[in-house]
Amino acid sequence: MMRGTIVLVIASVIWGVVHSFLASHTAKDLIRRASGALAFDKLYRFSYNFFALSSLFPIAAMLYTFPDRPLYSIPSPWVYVTVLVQGLAAILLIATIFQTDPFDFLGLRQLTDVDPARPPQLVTDGWYAYVRHPLYLGSLVFIWLIPDMTVNRLALVIIFSLYFVIGAFFEERKLLRDFGEAYASYRARTPMLIPRIPRPARR
pLDDT at 18: 93
Instruction: Give the predicted TM-score (pTM) of the model.
Output: 0.87
Q: What is the DSSP annotation of 26-61?
A: HHHHHHHHHH-HHHHHHHHHHHHHHHHHHTTHHHHH
pLDDT at 201: 43
pLDDT at 172: 92
- Residue 193 DSSP class: S
Segments of the chain with pLDDT less than 70: 1, 114-118, 197-203
